[in-house]
Amino acid sequence: MDPNKTYFDPAAAAKPAPQLTREELRMMTPEQVVAADEALQFAVLKSQGRDPIEAERRGERWATP
């Protein structure tokens, strides 16, 4: 497994941000995209290249590093 493609931020491990999907991204304004990116809501899309699963969308974390 490529360590650069993992969704793990030690500082946010206790409560990761709810993740957004590609469809939600398409409906957002540029300002909303910047705000969501700063809130780490695209971590799964950016690191995994896939839409988040339902648990990730709710801001839950099932896996450990």
**What residues have CB less than 8 Å from 52, skipping those under 6 apart?**
19, 20, 21, 44, 45
HSE at residue 25, side-chain half, CA atoms within 13 A, is 15
Model pLDDT for residues 5-28, shown as the tens digit of each residue: 555 555 555 677 899 999 999 999
Q: What is the mean pLDDT of residues 29-34?
A: 95
Model pLDDT for residues 42-63, shown as the tens digit of each residue: 999 999 899 999 989 998 876 6
Closest CA to 42 of 29, 34, 11, 61: 34
Residue 65 has a pLDDT of 55
List, in sequence order, the alpha helices (H) in 1-65. Answer: 22-26, 30-38, 43-48, 54-57
